[in-house]
Amino acid sequence: MSKKLWSVFTDDMDHCYFTGTPYVHRHHIFYGSRRELSEKYGYVIPIASYLHEFGINSVHDNPNRGMDLQLKQMAQEHFESHHGTREDFIKIFGRSWM
Ligand SMILES: [Zn+2]
């Protein structure tokens, strides 16, 4: 069964959130062991492939800084205004990015 990825940040999963380009990867804002949590909360975002990986300063090449940090902060802000406190966020996602 294929999962339908969705995002709290956009209804358009086919264009880059930042540039509008149609050639996108769907990035899990919290990846690795927290990938499933990203899917559960909708912390998935369509971004241009070069912003996603392999490029200098792309999300996966510059972890916890730049765009990766920006996206994690966006997700944390969303969580704290829709789901719970910062403490709750840390319990679920492991740490705060604020
Ligand atoms: Zn990714």
- Ranges of each domain in the chain: 24-89
42: left (phi over 0), alpha (psi -120 to 50) or beta: left
Question: Which residues does the chain have with pLDDT short of 70?
Answer: 1-3
Sign of CA dihedral 10, 16, 19, 22: negative
What pLDDT does 1 receive?
53
Report pTM: 0.93
Ligand 1 mean position, distance from CA 59 (Å): 7
What pLDDT does 4 receive?
85
Ligand 1 mean position, distance from CA 31 (Å): 7
**Helix segments in the chain, DSSP class H:** 35-41, 49-52, 66-82, 86-93
What does the pLDDT look like over 65-76, one tens digit per residue? 999 999 999 999
Nearest CA to 76 out of 9, 6, 10, 11 is that of 9
